[in-house]
Structure 1
Amino acid sequence: MSGKMVLGNDASSSSSDMVDTNKNLSVLVVDDDPLLRMFHDSYFKHFGLKTQVTQNGKKAVDLFHLGASFDLILMERDMPVMDGVEATKVLRAMGVNSMIVGLTAPISRREKRDFMAAGLNYCFEKPLSINMASFLLKELNKNNIGSNNN
């Protein structure tokens, strides 16, 4: 699936409505690129989510070992220390039920299939667009994931 996604008219909503709906949701942004971490962090803060960022999969796994939990995890695929594929596998093996969304540079179908098989809910090319972020928030709210799911 490419980073481009076409959504119907109901995908747009006012920012204030989205902030009210999402104020109890949290997101973890896992990416080794500091600019993309900041960029994705600001998207979800704009929508009213509590956000945290970290620069590799090992640090994300460590957060869960320490008792942290998040409703949504944005997981970069290629990172040092522990990549997104391995981190996703470890989180799922730990019983983490959060929505995990892979973010990648353009990759082959096989690489995407392997990343999805690690336990992703969705996979998009980065950077995440406002439409994709809105889609993910609607999915979280639709699935009644208002409490943290680790």
Structure 2
Amino acid sequence: MSAGTTGYKRLRKPEETKMRIRKHDSYETSNPMTALLVDGVAENRHLEHQILESIGIRTEPANSAQEAMQLLLTGANFDIIFVDFDLPIISGPQFVMDMRALGIQSKIVGMLSNFSDHNSQMFFEAGVNGNTQKPLTREIFEHVIQIIHLI
């Protein structure tokens, strides 16, 4: 052993442990897929953002439809837009209708905490390309991305 070591590894306290997510190789490509993530719940948005980034999708988070709309009106383009059903001020389906009325052609996926036929139908009538149930996991996001590539 070298000087200054005791042979014991210091154990981390639980609050020191951070979630580590390995970046996907495609993140390093010159033209990665881009996503706009619209979710009004900060904790959900942060986790969803981390998962999307970990699978190689450059993600711009927005906490409301208004914030997302401001970004879209600046000319920002996204390959895919994830929209939560329960947004502050206006609903996810209303936001999707507003985007489609502006001519936004991105693929749009509705995210539903309360996945019911009625809520799913509201999203489809608004113009989404697909829906998924929350909470979202890496596997769900990967599956949704594969399906979106086929549409």
- TM-score exceeds 0.5: yes
Q: Which has the higher contact order (CA 8 A, sep 6+)?
A: 1
> In the alignment, which of 79, 92, 103 is matched to residue 100 of structure 2?
92
Is 1:127 the counterpart of 2:135? The answer is yes
Identity across matched positions, percent: 26
Cα distance in 2 between the residues matched to 1:68 and 1:142:
23
Q: Which of 71, 75, 82 does residue 63 from structure 1 map onto?
A: 71
Q: After the TM superposition, list the runs of 4 or more consecutive aligned residues in structure 1 that deviate by more than 4 angstroms.
A: 15-18, 20-23, 140-143
Q: TM-score, normalised by structure 2?
A: 0.76
State which of 59, 62, 65 in structure 2 corresponds to 1:54: 62
Q: Are positions 1:136 and 2:144 aligned together?
A: yes
Distance 1:21 1:135 in 2: 21
Greater Rg by CA: 2
Alignment deviations for residues 20-45 of structure 1 (CA, whole Å, 9 cap, x no partner): 57952111110110011011100111
User: Unaligned stretches of 5+ in structure 1?
Assistant: 1-14, 144-150
**1:96 Cα deviation (Å)?**
1.0
Q: Is residue 103 of structure 1 aligned with residue 111 of structure 2? A: yes
Aligned length: 130
Which stretches in structure 2 are left out of the alignment for 5+ residues?
A: 1-22
1:28 to 14, 20, 36: 36
TM-score normalised per structure 1: 0.76
Alignment RMSD (CA, Å): 2.3
